[in-house]
Amino acid sequence: MKTVMATLVVLWLLVGAVAAFQRGDFEDGNCSSVADTAAIVALGPFNYAAPETLLETCSQPTRQA
């Protein structure tokens, strides 16, 4: 049973590492991106479950005087 669980954990983290690599997260080396990359690796297959959430345009709210 331990071997099966260890294999599943390794596969889970491998899928997460592939997702992080595809997103280009291994290019930067600052602490913030390291934490983000670690979170992506930890999420594993969930990276592929969510729909693409990129915004094409982002309008800023206008300041009223």
Reading the chain (65 residues) residue by residue, the pLDDT tens digits are 899 999 999 998 898 888 888 877 777 665 667 777 888 888 888 877 766 655 566 566 677 76
7 domain residue, yes or no:
yes
pLDDT, position 54: 59
Which residue range(s) make up the domain with 17?
2-49
Which residue in 37, 40, 19 sits closest to 28, CA to CA? 37
pLDDT, position 42: 87
Name the domain count of the chain.
1
pLDDT, position 28: 65
Quote the CA–CA distance of 55 and 63 in Å, as a whole number: 22
28 domain residue, yes or no:
yes
61 domain residue, yes or no:
no
pLDDT, position 11: 92
User: CB of 2 within 8 A of CB of 30?
Assistant: no
Query: Could you tell me the CA-to-CA distances from 26 to 2, 35, 50, 56, 60 in Å, in that order?
Result: 31, 11, 21, 24, 30
